[in-house]
Amino acid sequence: ETGVTQSPTHLIKTRGQQVTLRCSSQSGHNTVSWYQQALGQGPQFIFQYYREEENGRGNFPPRFSGLQFPNYSSELNVNALELDDSALYLCASSLGQGSDTQYFGPGTRLTVL
Amino acid sequence: ILNVEQSPQSLHVQEGDSTNFTCSFPSSNFYALHWYRWETAKSPEALFVMTLNGDEKKKGRISATLNTKEGYSYLYIKGSQPEDSATYLCAFKTGANNLFFGTGTRLTVIP
């Protein structure tokens, strides 16, 4: 059974640029959630995808967008990067939307200069 | 944004000591409470998902209790070992699909 993987591991961008982060779900999982963890804080929910549809969104602006593909892998896209977007981005997959355990990837560290 | 608080923020214990931490969350709209262990440079690892008031769960030397009426959960580690050193996160889930995380308790076990 393959765990959740994320790419790239680290990324440096400049303010105003766009970035795409990728996540491969654990085998058989149809739900992916994305989180942002800024320094000194707990992870904050960005959004969730269930069977290729957005299924809940946290308090993030529209320049944070996502996709889920038929194989349940997922992308997080951030446009017009700001310095405050510097953070660790985590994705987590689960078998369903309810109280199921979420399995996390190791994260992508994004630095915006 | 829902407020989930964890205490203490960090602690150091000697190998063999038992310890516990607290997670406080809103007592309304409760759906589930998750605990995760997060070792440095690794992925957060799920420990428990708790849904019922009075729930007690155990995994080896680690156990957790849940009180949904007063809005708290305790995580206990019996006989701490150096490999228990990690950040322990709790996350509160309402009926919606998002998890609200605390900032974690960073545990260091000194050999």
Structure confidence by residue, pLDDT tens digits, A1-36: 568 999 999 999 999 999 999 999 988 888 999 999
Yes or no, beta carbons of B41 and A106 under 8 Å apart = yes
> Nearest-CA distance from A54 to chain B in Å?
11
pLDDT band at A98 (very low <50, low <70, confident <90, very high): low
Yes or no, beta carbons of A48 and B98 under 8 Å apart = yes
Question: Backbone phi, then psi, for B14, in 5-degree steps?
Answer: -85, 150
* Mean pLDDT score, A60-86: 96
Q: Is A60 on the interface with B (CB under 8 A)?
A: no
Taking contacts as CB-CB distances below 8 angstroms, the residues of chain A near B101 are 35, 42-44
Q: Is A99 on the interface with B (CB under 8 A)?
A: yes
Relative to beta strand A10-13, strand A108-112 is: parallel
Structural tokens at position B42: 């690794």
Taking contacts as CB-CB distances below 8 angstroms, the residues of chain B near A42 are 4, 89, 91, 101-104
Q: How far apart, in whole angstroms, are the C-alpha atoms of residue B7 and residue A108?
A: 27
Beta strand residue intervals within B19-104, DSSP E:
19-24, 32-38, 45-50, 56-59, 62-67, 72-77, 86-93, 99-101
pLDDT at residue number A97? 65
Helix, strand, coil shares of chain A, percent, nearest 5, are: 5, 50, 45
Structural tokens at position B82: 């150096």
Chain A residue at shortest CA distance from B103: A42
Yes or no, beta carbons of B101 and A44 under 8 Å apart = yes
Instruction: Let me know: does B111 contact B82? Beta carbons within 8 Å.
Output: yes
pLDDT at residue number A27? 84
Q: How far apart, in whole angstroms, are the C-alpha atoms of residue A113 and residue B9?
A: 29
Q: How far apart, in whole angstroms, are the C-alpha atoms of residue B73 and residue B24?
A: 7
Place of tokens 């608080």: B5
Local confidence pLDDT in tens for the 111 residues of chain B: 678 999 999 999 999 999 999 999 998 888 899 999 999 989 999 999 999 999 999 999 999 999 999 999 999 999 999 999 999 999 998 876 778 999 999 999 999
Neighbours of B59 (CB within 10 A): 12
State the DSSP code for B31: -
Q: How far apart, in whole angstroms, are the C-alpha atoms of residue A42 and residue B54?
A: 26
> Nearest-CA distance from A17 to chain B in Å?
27
